[in-house]
């Protein structure tokens, strides 16, 4: 008998099959994922999920006998009172009983759990960050260090021991440096002869001479020679900037309802998850404003009530200040998403335009403006007919050639489509960036 411990074998043997399954059912799973995402809390969008897809889409048909019709019989255990010839009412739902029904075939949905990675992969599939071209053009790059072979010079901590000893060994063999065992054997033999009969004196002398010769040789040929030394070599490699900062700007004046804030929060969450998959390191800055702007933590940002007028430019100024202070654009990819109900004081319009066009937009990889409306507003008056002050400001900017992504959202279910639309993979991103 053999006992074999297989526990250390690489797990995930089913992983390739699982991936094939997901790919096959991709369209179905993607729809399920979108549904799931819509009903999910923002905080756990970034977790694994159970999804259900129609069974027919991934069925494995077999030639089998039908579940109903025809003459059927069963042998059952546990008879209590029946005698031969008794009749029983047919149970409702036909005769699905018996061994013919395969396991679980009755269910019309196939349920399984997607891991966090798989969920996000499907959730954010074929979305892409716009304006990546800009990132490529950026000159200032961070440098990393990478192993690059061996060199003959270097500092002692970088000594490549195995390589050095290998060189030393081959050199010693090539130069015929006597080894320790050889010397020991010879000495032993001489000792033996010294205690032995006197007639071996001649042999003894020759052996002694040989020992002397070997000693000399091992003194002349060093065990480790500077020639043998090898050091691990490192070289600096340029690394593209892989950190991003995301600015969340939000109007928290009295006109913003809880519903609107919730819409904004959902959008920010999606953006955060998305950035996180593209960049190794993502920071978030929350800037909220009424007639003056302040950087706050997440909880305050979403939950603490505030009153006051509305001055959008204050938030832009604050953002500009924070960028200048902490996030040099050379090292950071800057994303900004602004949410507002569209109110702004009319005096602020000029300041906003100038700030955005000359200061903020050139810093940003991407600037999205999300106008949130009341839940029932979309049905009553389309936004085409009614344009808010801020919308008009930004629209003018866009017409003048600035790049602002603008969308209006009234309902929770629109968040996901709007997000997808904003980040849909363009057919030719380079061209897009150049235009």
Q: Rounded to whole angstroms, how far apart are CA atoms 398 and 205?
A: 103
Cα 164–Cα 165–Cα 167 angle in degrees, nearest 5: 65
Cβ distance to another protein smaller for residue 88 or 161: 88
Cβ distance to another protein smaller for residue 23 or 280: 23
> Of residues 39, 69, 220, 434, which one binds another protein by CB under 8 A?
69
Q: Rounded to whole angstroms, how far apart are CA atoms 132 and 112?
A: 36
Q: Rounded to whole angstroms, how far apart are CA atoms 372 and 390?
A: 12
State how far Cα 215 lies from the chain centre.
Answer: 63
Give the x/- contact pattern for another protein in 73-102, rule: CB under 8 A: xxxxxxxx-xxxxxxxxx----x--xxx--
Cβ distance to another protein smaller for residue 75 or 384: 75
Per CB under 8 A, 64 contacts another protein? yes
> Of residues 6, 136, 219, 280, which one binds another protein by CB under 8 A?
6
Phi, psi of 286 (to 5 degrees): -100, 120
> Of residues 24, 146, 209, 281, which one binds another protein by CB under 8 A?
24
Residue 249, CA distances (Å) to 163, 339, 374, 413 in order: 57, 6, 19, 22
Q: Between helices 412-422 and 26-39, what is the axis angle to 10°?
A: 130
Per CB under 8 A, 3 contacts another protein? yes
Helices (H), 175-200: 180-195
Of 100-159, which residues contact another protein (CB under 8 A)? 100, 104, 110-113
Report in angstroms how near the CB of residue 34 gets to another protein at its nearest. 19
Per CB under 8 A, 358 contacts another protein? no
> Of residues 27, 47, 58, 396, which one binds another protein by CB under 8 A?
58
Q: Give me the residues paired with residue 285 across strands.
A: 247
Phi, psi of 277 (to 5 degrees): -80, -20
Report in angstroms how near the CB of residue 44 gets to another protein at its nearest. 16
Give the x/- contact pattern for another protein in 293-332, rule: CB under 8 A: ----------------------------------------
Q: Rounded to whole angstroms, how far apart are CA atoms 150 and 234?
A: 8
> Of residues 44, 50, 194, 213, which one binds another protein by CB under 8 A?
50
Cβ distance to another protein smaller for residue 104 or 197: 104
* DSSP assignments along 110-140, one per residue: EEEEE-HHHHHHHHSTTB--TTHHHHHH---
Size of the site for another protein (CB under 8 A): 62
Q: Give me the residues paired with residue 199 across strands.
A: none
- CB burial class (10 A; 0-12, 13-18, 19+) of residue 30? middle
Cβ distance to another protein smaller for residue 67 or 402: 67
Name the residues that contact another protein, by CB under 8 A.
1-7, 9, 11-14, 16-24, 50, 58-67, 69-80, 82-90, 95, 98-100, 104, 110-113
């Amino acid at each position: 008998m053999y006992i074999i411990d297989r526990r250390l074998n690489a797990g995930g043997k089913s992983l390739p099959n699982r991936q094939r399954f997901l790919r096959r059912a991709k369209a179905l799973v993607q729809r399920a994922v979108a549904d799931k995402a819509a009903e999910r809390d923002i905080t756990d969008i970034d977790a694994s999920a159970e999804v259900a897809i129609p069974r027919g889409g991934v069925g494995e048909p077999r030639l089998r006998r039908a579940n109903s019709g025809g003459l059927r019989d069963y042998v059952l255990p546990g008879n209590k009172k029946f005698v031969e010839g008794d009749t029983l009412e047919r149970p409702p739902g036909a005769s699905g009983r018996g061994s013919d029904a395969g396991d679980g075939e009755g269910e019309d949905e196939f349920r399984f759990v997607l891991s966090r990675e798989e969920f996000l992969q499907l959730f954010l599939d074929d979305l892409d960050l716009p304006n990546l071209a800009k990132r490529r053009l950026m000159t200032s790059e961070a440098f990393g260090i990478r192993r690059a072979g061996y060199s003959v010079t270097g500092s002692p901590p970088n000594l490549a021991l195995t390589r050095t000893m290998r060189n030393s060994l081959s050199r010693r063999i090539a130069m015929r440096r006597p080894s320790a065992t050889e010397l020991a054997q010879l000495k032993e033999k001489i000792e033996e002869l010294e205690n032995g009969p006197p007639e071996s004196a001649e042999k003894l002398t020759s052996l002694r001479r040989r020992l002397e010769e070997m000693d000399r040789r091992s003194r002349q040929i060093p065990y480790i020679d500077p020639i043998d030394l090898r050091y691990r070599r490192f070289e600096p490699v340029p690394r593209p900037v892989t950190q991003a900062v995301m600015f969340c700007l939000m109007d928290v004046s009295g006109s913003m309802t809880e519903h609107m804030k919730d819409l904004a929060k959902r959008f920010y969450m999606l953006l955060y998850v998305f950035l996180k998959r593209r960049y190794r390191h993502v920071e978030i800055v929350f800037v909220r404003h009424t007639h003056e702007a302040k950087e706050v933590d997440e909880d305050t940002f979403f939950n603490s009530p505030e009153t006051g007028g509305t001055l959008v430019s204050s938030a832009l100024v604050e953002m500009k200040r924070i960028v200048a202070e902490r996030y040099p654009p050379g090292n950071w990819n800057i994303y900004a998403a602004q949410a507002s109900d569209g109110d702004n004081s009319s005096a602020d319009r000029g300041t906003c335009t100038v700030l955005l066009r000359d200061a903020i937009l050139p810093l940003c990889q991407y600037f999205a403006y999300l106008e949130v409306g009341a839940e029932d507003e979309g049905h009553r008056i389309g936004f085409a007919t009614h344009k808010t002050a801020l919308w008009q400001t930004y629209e003018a900017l866009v017409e003048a050639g600035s790049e602002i992504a603008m969308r209006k959202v009234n309902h929770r279910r629109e968040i996901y489509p709007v997000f997808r639309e904003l980040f849909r993979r363009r057919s030719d991103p380079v061209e897009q960036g150049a235009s």
